[in-house]
Amino acid sequence: MRETPSKQWRPFTANCCTVDDKTIFGNFSRCKPSRSDNIAPMPSFRRLSFSDLSRSSSMRINEDLAMSFGNDLYDFQLSELKAITQNFSSNFLLGEGGFGTVHKGYIDENLRQGLKAQAVAVKLLDIEGLQGHREWLAEVIFLGQLRHKNLVRLIGYCCEDEERLLVYEFMPRGSLENHLFKRHLTAKSDVYSFGVVLLELLIGRRCMDKSRPKGEQNLVDWAKPYLTSSRRLRYIVDPRLAGQYSVKGAKEMALLALQCISLNPKDRPRMSAIVETLKCLQNYKDMAVSSGQWPVAPKSTRNAKVNKTDSKGGTFRKSSPVTPSRKKS
């Protein structure tokens, strides 16, 4: 005997309802929707019990989902998804993992009425027992409701015999995860990293140092304002060098590092150009200690506010003149 549809419920992200032992969505039916006019009405779901999740109830699941989502999600047939992926050809493989495989497909305007022609990503889940089916069903219901410009959109699903599939919009530039963890580094990203190394050599600090004041923990962000000023640059050069460095060489090295850490990859120099620049620095003889630029502390620091010095060099307040502090010998 079919049960009557339950009352509307809001997304799990709004109510944080928990799942009980007897049903997946039973608790959701007891969640009352907000009276706020800003929340759009959500689909109504019939109470789905464990009996609905058996593999022999795929037809019933399809009926329930179709009744709940209407035209918001498409109930695809397995034959349709095989056709658009050329029977899940390896040539169309986008990725694979513990969840299964993802293949690229192309839907033409004749496949379904109202469905525009577009490229899609078809996830073929590797279902292992009842738990795998539950995860598939939860993903259909939750992602079927979510619509946000920063979230990949679920277009439809397939529940046929032993197969469980999901159909998403295709992201031609890949996911955020791929950009962060799976893409190969480019030559320009290597140049940026080398620019950070140049700063570490020039200043004598680590690229990230949590022991320093908040404004000085990130070496790149802290050092940038000093790199373009010859007058200010001498205040951040590694004090352990004790003036035994070329003033001109330090300036050119600072400008080179600044080019390497440019936010625009196109503005970063080639490694070959970097090597040539560094070779030239070896020939400079204008030592800071002999040119009067070391020590760097001005004669009068009466109006300067200086922090205490640690073993890693001077620190400066943004609101005060740039004045280093050094331990007395």
| pLDDT per position as a tens digit, 173-199 | 776 666 556 655 678 888 999 999 999
Q: Is the pLDDT of residue 81 over 70?
A: yes
Distance separating alpha carbons of residues 240 and 257, to the nearest angstrom: 20
Same domain, 165 and 55: yes
pLDDT at 21: 37
Locate all alpha helices (DSSP H) within 146-246, ordered by sequence.
176-177, 187-203, 219-227, 230-233
- The residue to which tokens 């050069």 are assigned: 237
32 is in an annotated binding site: no
Percent of the chain topping pLDDT 70: 63
Segments forming the whole domain that contains residue 212: 176-289
Q: Which residue has the higher pLDDT, 314 or 167?
A: 167
Q: Are the C-beta atoms of 8 and 41 separated by less than 8 Å?
A: yes
pLDDT at 228: 84
Q: Is the pLDDT of residue 3 over 60?
A: no
pTM: 0.41
Task: Give domain status of residue 305, yes or no.
Answer: no
Amino acid making up residue 216: E
Q: Among residues 122, 154, 169, which one ends one of the domains?
A: 169
The tokens for 222 are 């802290």
Q: Are the C-beta atoms of 94 and 112 separated by less than 8 Å?
A: no
Same domain, 76 and 97: yes
Q: Which residue has the higher pLDDT, 258 or 321?
A: 258
Helix/strand/coil for 24: coil
Task: Give domain status of residue 34, yes or no.
Answer: no
Q: Among residues 151, 169, 187, which one ends one of the domains?
A: 169
Task: Give domain status of residue 10, yes or no.
Answer: no
Same domain, 144 and 195: no
- What separation in angstroms does the CA of 107 have from each of 44, 88, 93, 124, 168? 29, 14, 16, 17, 11
Write the Ramachandran bin of 313: left for phi over 0, alpha for psi from -120 to 50, otherwise beta.
Answer: left
**CATH number assigned to the domain comprising residue 123:** 3.30.200.20
Same domain, 285 and 191: yes
Helix/strand/coil for 121: strand
Q: DSSP letters along 32-87, please?
A: PPP--TTSPPPPP-PPPBGGGGSGGGHHHHHHHHHHHHTTSSEE--HHHHHHHTTT
Total domains in the fold of the chain: 2
pLDDT at 25: 41
Given strand 118-125, what is the order of strands in its sheet?
Answer: 74-75, 154-160, 163-169, 118-125, 100-107, 93-97
Task: Give domain status of residue 327, yes or no.
Answer: no
Largest CA distance in the chain: 97
Same domain, 194 and 165: no
Q: Among residues 169, 194, 214, which one ends one of the domains?
A: 169
Considering only 18-27, 100-109, 133-142, 267-276, which range has the smallest mean pLDDT?
Answer: 18-27
Average per-residue pLDDT in the chain?
72
Same domain, 130 and 219: no
Distance separating alpha carbons of residues 157 and 143, to the nearest angstrom: 11
Task: Give domain status of residue 22, yes or no.
Answer: no
The tokens for 211 are 């022991």
pLDDT at 290: 76
Helix/strand/coil for 102: strand
